[in-house]
Amino acid sequence: MNYAEIKYCDIANGVGVRTSLFVAGCRHGCPGCFNQIAWDFAMGKPYDSSVEDEIVASLEPDYVAGITLLGGEPLEPENQPALADLLMRIKRELPNKSVWIYSGFTWEELTELESRAQTAHLERMLNCCDVLVDGRFEQALYDISLRFRGSSNQRIIDVPASRAAGEIVLWQGDEILAKRSSWQ
């Protein structure tokens, strides 16, 4: 796997201060994609164990809420093995850190429909994932006012709650944050 960039202290892609890993490679081809350069699996730099160590170390401070995986497409089959290992290590060594994944695959494509994302590693990734922002970017549904997503078809999904319920449970944190800011 290659990666395009690691952003430390990122506050745009999930709640709190996060480490965001932008991986290389995406086949969705959404018109208007914000990061077309990352469609190429060969762009960027090779991801190896020293990069993994750096990412895990960056999560250690108390002020860092967790990790966000985005891209590119973290759930392309080529990217899943290394990312599943990374997430399992984070959950083992730093279990209080949250995991967000941005994917062009929909929840349905990951859980019930056939898709190329369904590999032997997908379950390991979903087991470690707290929040999934799902679905391809739809230019016609682009809305700058949306928090943590680009177009209104994309959903912010509470993964453990959805898996327990057997249906999509939307993440409630955004509502809580909105209430908090209206109190200020």
Q: Which residues bind ligand SF4 (CB under 6 A)?
A: 26, 28-30, 33, 35, 38, 71-73, 104, 136-137
Q: In whole angstroms, how close is the CB of 122 to ligand SF4 at the nearest point?
A: 16
| Residue 124 C-beta: closest distance to ligand SF4, Å | 21
Complex with ligand SF4: residue 14 or 71, whichever CB lies closer: 71
Smallest separation (angstroms) from ligand SF4 to the CB of 149: 11
User: Coil, strand or helix: which one is 129?
Assistant: coil
Backbone angles phi, psi at 176, to 5 degrees: -65, -45
Q: Is the Cβ of residue 44 or residue 64 nearer to ligand SF4 in the bound state?
A: 44
Amino acid (1-letter code) at residue 87 = L
Position closest to ligand SF4 via CB: 104
Question: What stretches of the chain show up as alpha helix (H) in DSSP?
Answer: 49-58, 80-93, 107-111, 122-128, 159-165, 173-183
Helices (H), 97-184: 107-111, 122-128, 159-165, 173-183
In angstroms, what is the minimal distance from the CB of 127 to ligand SF4?
22
